[in-house]
Chains A and B, each alone.
Chain A
């Protein structure tokens, strides 16, 4: 590993791949949301790493992007889990393979 930044970027890439695998492979809707959260976190790690090793950290660009991204991720988690609970109430399942009709 020649630069420290490359190490952080590789960790973020691996975490992103794990997140997308979780979102695509699992049956449960909550696990899909967990995968999406992991992907968002991997993107945040990229932003912070570029902020730390970039030429102008005092401008705070990457840091601000990461903070806003954390806030948006919190909103997304609340709405996503609300939708999962609502779907569970209608169809009595959180199995995505069984959610194959639009009628509630």
Chain B
């Protein structure tokens, strides 16, 4: 537990809070990017280089851009007249606080049972590649199929429909 961890945790949590609380949707998207970057740095801090760079590529490179595109395509950059929070915001806040209380209680109660092997894992990208085409080849193929189906599905759902003749 060092100062770097606290700094990265503060960046991540601050980005997450800002992305939920800010009024302008574009600001929210930028704050989400900050949270994603903080998470990628936390992955690097955990010696998971491959996951950290995959996080940067997929989330900052693709998902954040996709969110900005969706905001601009739906004209979400204008401020709504009747507030940004839903009518039932208090119930949502209570549910979120309850979930955090339960999770934090579970973590703090089981601190002694948590594993702590401090040796840095000697895992290279070559090992990850070998595992992906060896033991995990079936999940890899299923994920490839899922990504193809999801891309085609997203294009079909968002495609402009032709005007249907009225019956």
Contact = CB atoms under 8 A, between A and B. Distances in A.
Interface residues of A, number: 75
B100 A38 contact: no
Given A7-B9, A25-B85, A58-B122, A16 B115 contact: no
Given A6-B107, A26-B20, A38-B16, A64 B136 contact: yes
A85 B73 CA distance: 7
User: What is the interface of chain B mostly: helix, strand, loop, or mixed?
Assistant: helix
B114 A3 contact: yes
A5 B139 CA distance: 28
Interface in A75-101: 75-79, 81-86, 88-89, 94-97
A6 B87 CA distance: 36
User: What is the interface of chain A mostly: helix, strand, loop, or mixed?
Assistant: helix
Contacts of B73: 85, 88
A92 B113 CA distance: 52
Interface string B39-65: 100110011101100110011001100
A18 B22 CA distance: 13
Nearest to A93: B74
Interface residues of B, number: 85
Interface of B: 1, 5, 9, 12-13, 16-17, 19-20, 25, 28-29, 32, 35-36, 39, 42-43, 46-48, 50-51, 54-55, 58-59, 62-63, 66-67, 69-71, 73-74, 76, 80, 83-89, 91-93, 95-97, 99-100, 103-104, 107-108, 111-112, 114-118, 121-123, 127-128, 131-132, 136, 139, 143, 146-147, 150-151, 153-155, 157-158, 160-161
